[in-house]
Amino acid sequence: MHELSIAMSIVEMAEEESARRNNAKIHAIHLRLGLLSGVVKEALLSSYEMACASTCLEGSQLIIEEVPVEVFCPACKTRVPVASIQWMVCPQCGTLTPDIVQGRELEVIAMEIETPGSQPPQSDPSHNNAPETNQ
């Protein structure tokens, strides 16, 4: 399961950032995850929880924004979402296209960090994407 090694890398990067900020508390990490990244969202969420155990990130959230697949259609000269990741065709004209412009992302885009003297962020139930079995 390569999701565990990805989660461990995310935790390591966040621990380094926490240390740079005088061991600031990290409440959440925001991640963009493309549907073609090869990473299973649920496995990454579970792995993140395991990777955070006994670290300064224990109890933090991994908030994942799923990024749909878009291709560039040479006939329409525009970016379009695909109906299926198995069939890379323009949904408007039917032209086959190998030019994927979005959907491979795996990137940390933000961290919610509590600095000394600041208030912790308020919980937002709309971002609750942790596995249901542990919540």
pLDDT for 57: 95
23 secondary structure, DSSP code: S
Kindly list the domain boundaries of the chain, sorted by start residue.
1-68+103-122, 69-102
* Among candidate residues 15, 109, 125, the one with its CA nearest the CA of residue 66: 109
Sheet holding 70-73, edge to edge: 78-81, 70-73, 100-102
Q: Which fold has domain 1-68+103-122?
A: hypothetical protein PF0899 fold (3.30.2320)
For strands 61-67 and 100-102, give the pairing. unpaired
pLDDT for 98: 87
pLDDT exceeds 80 at position 64: yes
pLDDT for 85: 86
Residue type, 121: P
Residue 64 sits at φ, ψ, to 5 deg, of -105, 125
What is the average per-residue pLDDT within 37-55?
96
pLDDT for 134: 31
Residue 98 sits at φ, ψ, to 5 deg, of -90, 0
d(CA 63, CA 128): 7
Report residue 132's pLDDT band, with 50, 70 and 90 as the boundaries: very low
Report residue 130's pLDDT band, with 50, 70 and 90 as the boundaries: very low
What is the average per-residue pLDDT within 28-41?
97
* Among candidate residues 1, 7, 133, the one with its CA nearest the CA of residue 58: 7
> Whole-number mean pLDDT of the chain?
88
The answer to whether 35 and 129 have CB atoms below 8 angstroms apart is no
Report residue 131's pLDDT band, with 50, 70 and 90 as the boundaries: very low
What is the average per-residue pLDDT within 41-67?
96
d(CA 82, CA 125): 30
What is the average per-residue pLDDT within 76-103?
92
pLDDT exceeds 50 at position 27: yes
